[in-house]
Amino acid sequence: MGSGLQPERARHVAIIMDGNGRWAKKRALPRAVGHQRGVEAVRRLVRSLAGTGLECLTLYAFSSENWKRPDEEVDDLMNLMRRFIKSDLPEFIENKVKLKIIGDWQSLAPDIVAMLEDALAQTADGTQTLAVALNYGGQHEIARAAAKAAAQAAADGGEISIETIAAHLDTADLPPLDLLIRTSGEVRLSNFLLWQAAYAEMLFVDTLWPDFEPAHLARALDDFARRERRYGGR
């Protein structure tokens, strides 16, 4: 680094997990198989968290726009979620992974909400956070946070500011976002962590999500450490 600054360690990484459908299409397989392989990629990554030094990994699992997909695909995704929670919760607890859910997840099916609430309670003492965005949209999150900040300002006579809005975001208790990765070669944010990404580093990779390995994350973290973050300065 030209300035002589020490490499910065990433505390919080977020990933837009894109490419399940294209992975399946390339292999003439149903999209559901691509989603299943995508869950396996999540599992591999979560198992590798202890060796990354990360405090938080945030994954974009289901956006508020994903409801527009065919009913059969949405049902497949919801059933995958149910199976993943049931099968992996004991491993989360054993590996001290703390689960956090962001987005309007409480409007999901009642049985999924109950499973998530149980998982949140059972993993509350974890030391590394896995934040999962479910029924999430960045614009909606900002609107909700701004409305809460306005109500707070009206109640206590304060001002609506960057700080008061940030305090009401779903991620308010997480470290600032350092690095946002998107797989599959697409170069857009897709309404994900729009506020949080204001000064995050970005990395867009061609790898389809089911092929994403812990080694890819390790290389991304090495790349991040070589970047000089300026936050609008010189």
What is the reported pLDDT for 234? 58
The answer to whether residue 3 scores a pLDDT higher than 60 is no
Cα separation, 225 vs 1, whole angstroms: 9
Q: 12-212 maps to which CATH number?
A: 3.40.1180.10
Residue of 181, 166, 82, 170 lying closest to 129 (CA atoms):
170
Domain residue limits, the chain: 12-212
Q: Pick the residue with more confidence: 58 or 228?
A: 58
pLDDT tens digits, one per residue of 55-72: 999 999 999 999 999 999
Q: How distant, in Å, are the alpha carbons of 147, 148, 153, 194, 216 from that of 166? A: 12, 10, 14, 12, 30
Of 66, 191, 211, 223, catalytic: 66
Strand locations in the chain, DSSP E?
12-16, 56-63, 97-102, 128-136, 179-182, 201-204
From the CA atom positions of the chain, what is the Rg in Å? 18
pLDDT tens digits, one per residue of 154-193: 999 999 999 999 999 999 999 999 999 999 999 999 999 9
Q: Catalytic site residue 18? A: yes
Residue of 129, 111, 122, 144 lying closest to 177 (CA atoms):
129
pTM over 0.85: yes
What is the reported pLDDT for 2? 44
Of 18, 88, 170, 178, catalytic: 18
Q: Catalytic site residue 206? A: no
Binned at pLDDT 50, 70 and 90, residue 51 comes out as confident
Q: Pick the residue with more confidence: 234 or 152?
A: 152
pLDDT tens digits, one per residue of 121-147: 999 999 999 999 999 999 999 999 999
